[in-house]
Amino acid sequence: MLRGFYTAASGMIAQQRRQEALSNNIANAQTPGFKADQASLRAFPEMLLHEMGTKQSPLKNGTNMPVNRPVGPLNTGVYVHEILPDFSQGDIRQTGLPTDFALVDGAYPDETGKAFFTIQNAAGEIRYTRNGNFSVDGEGFLTTNQGYYVLNQAGNRIQTNGLSVDNGMVETAGLDLGIAYVAEPNSLAKEGEGIYAGEAENMPLQSSYQVKQGYLEQSNVDTMQTMTEMMNSYRMFETNQRVLKAYDESMGKAVNEIGRIG
């Protein structure tokens, strides 16, 4: 009976975490460069039940012999194994703004490899992003919406040198945007707002990609698919909730009725 409680409760917790990830995806459906989170559910290790007992041997002395007969496996519920971003390419939308940049993936040496803009946070640490919605600060440096500096290939902050980025296109080659390559993007740690921490390398020579100025990469969240998954997750949560309620009522009857002395 208690195993049923734990199994139903683990199902509710797993669906709640999945619902949180899906809700975050919907909330960022319009965020440039956002990569949708995917929750991976996994079952707890199964337990193999055995019948433990004794039986009398056919010998004259009637010796009792131990019995250990397999009954079958028992599953103890599910849990969210991990939540990983989906780094597939988002749609490219033209904005016409000279400080907007979009990375368009091509061919890389590694099947999972991806390109990222290199930025520097307030603590001076190197970070990576796919959100190319940049701006120019009061000192003429190219920055992200969070105020982080955009770096060039040499790892230095990009100074626009007084070029009028509001009234004309600034050449991408002149800005020398620092594009980093990550062979295993899932090894990056997500810090929020489309920013990732981790190790990257220079773009391999055999890679092909594009940096498009005046464009933005949109979120890769499929809103219709995400809404469908949210409804399914909610129904699964309700199902486990009803199972948990049924177990609770059964336990109540066992305590209040079966154990009652007439």
Q: Which helix (H) or strand (E) holds 41?
A: strand 37-43
Residue range 135-185, pLDDT digits in tens: 888 888 999 988 999 998 888 998 887 554 443 344 444 567 889 999 999
Task: Indicate yes or no: pTM above 0.85.
Answer: no
Residue range 84-134, pLDDT digits in tens: 899 999 999 999 888 899 999 988 988 889 999 999 999 999 999 999 999
Contact indicator for 44, 66 with CB cutoff of 8 Å: no
133 forms beta bridges with: 100
pLDDT recorded at residue 250: 78
pLDDT recorded at residue 22: 95
Among 6-10, 124-128, 234-238, whose mean pLDDT is lowest? Answer: 6-10
The 3-class secondary structure across 130-188, one letter per residue, is: CCCECEECCCCEEECCCCCEEEECCCCECECCCCCCCCCCCCHHHHCECEEEECCHHHC
Q: How far apart are CA 150 and CA 130, in angstroms?
A: 12
Residue range 115-125, pLDDT digits in tens: 999 999 999 99
Q: Which helix (H) or strand (E) holds 190?
A: strand 189-192
Amino acid at site 248: D
Residue range 238-262, pLDDT digits in tens: 998 888 888 777 777 776 776 565 5
List C-alpha distances in Å: 165 to 72, 140, 168, 217.
Answer: 70, 10, 5, 20
How far is C-alpha 206 from the geometric centre of its chain's CA atoms? 29
Q: Which helix (H) or strand (E) holds 224?
A: helix 223-253
Q: How far apart are CA 129 and CA 192, in angstroms?
A: 10
